[in-house]
Amino acid sequence: MSTPERVKLLQICVYFFAKQLYAELNRWIILVQLSLISCKERVGLQTGINQRLCSFTGKSASKSFKRLPERATATESDEPGNDKKQKRKVPHTIVPYKEGQRILLVGEGNFSFAASLCTMCDGNGSGIVATGYDSRDVAHAKYDDAQANIETVEGSGGSVFFGIDAEFLDKYKELTSDGPYDVLVFNFPHCGMGIKDKLKNVRVNQKLIQDFLLAGKQMIHNEGELHITVKRGEPYDSWAVPKLGAQTPGLRLKNSFPFLPSKYPGYAHRRTLGFQEGISTDGNKDILKSGCKTYVFDFEKPKHKP
């Protein structure tokens, strides 16, 4: 091999060695940079890095860069032996009722929610007062499971009243004599009048809710709460329940959380018109489809002067 050929071969070797060295140097620089940026930025950047390295090494992008492990996020559970407690984002699964509370239930249809609470209180329903808008005869005619649920409530020491209008709660002596209450609960309020005009339907149901809040606040003690559960979506979102609470003198929206029927064994949602075979849905399909939310209202707290 002649001297010019040897020089040319040496130049080629030096070129490829320098190219490989430059690619490796870039790789280490990138690794250092990645260790200093957030996980979200890193994930989006790695694809571009692979392509960049590929142009230097000639290897496929999938093999040229090994993906770094993700940093721990606030949603991950704590590892054993980890002294630093991490915050975890978990869905609310609140059941805000407990044995010993004085609870007034309003607008019960088949009384399955009342029966469920009594069962959850280990059969001690002495603090539960369940009321329905219908008369006893109408309730039995509309809901074939009403009688069994009523027997569960009364058998556990709870009280059941019929013909109670949620808009005038503070006018019933049989209810006020048992007060004041810790919690008033109105699940899925609905006027049930079959109004076709959407705007009028919204206004009528808003009036029902606002009248309940006005009457209900007269029946709770200073630390008591008013709970209203509604379905999500229209027309229920248009009812603007939080706004109605804010417009009620002396009340404020304390908090809200998803209503999960599975947390209340035996609970079966029923529409105002009752259960109709072939039309109504079994169990809680009607409310599970759209989801539901419970809004909690209490009395406004005095603002402390700085």
The identity of residue 247, as a single letter, is Q
Query: Kindly report the CA angle at 103 between 287 and 153, in degrees rounded to 5?
Result: 75
Please give the chain's pLDDT, 306 residues, in tens. 677 777 767 777 777 677 677 666 666 665 555 455 444 444 444 445 455 444 444 544 333 333 333 333 333 333 333 444 444 443 455 789 999 999 999 999 999 999 999 999 999 999 999 999 999 999 999 999 999 999 999 999 999 999 999 999 999 999 999 889 999 999 999 987 777 788 999 999 999 999 999 999 999 999 999 999 999 999 999 999 999 999 999 999 999 999 999 999 999 988 755 555 554 456 678 788 889 999 999 999 887 666
Alpha carbons 189 and 230: distance in angstroms, whole number:
7
Specify the pLDDT at position 281: 57
Q: What's the residue count for the chain?
A: 306
> How far does the chain reach from its first CA to its final CA, in angstroms?
94
Within 10 Å of residue 159's Cβ, how many Cβ atoms? 18
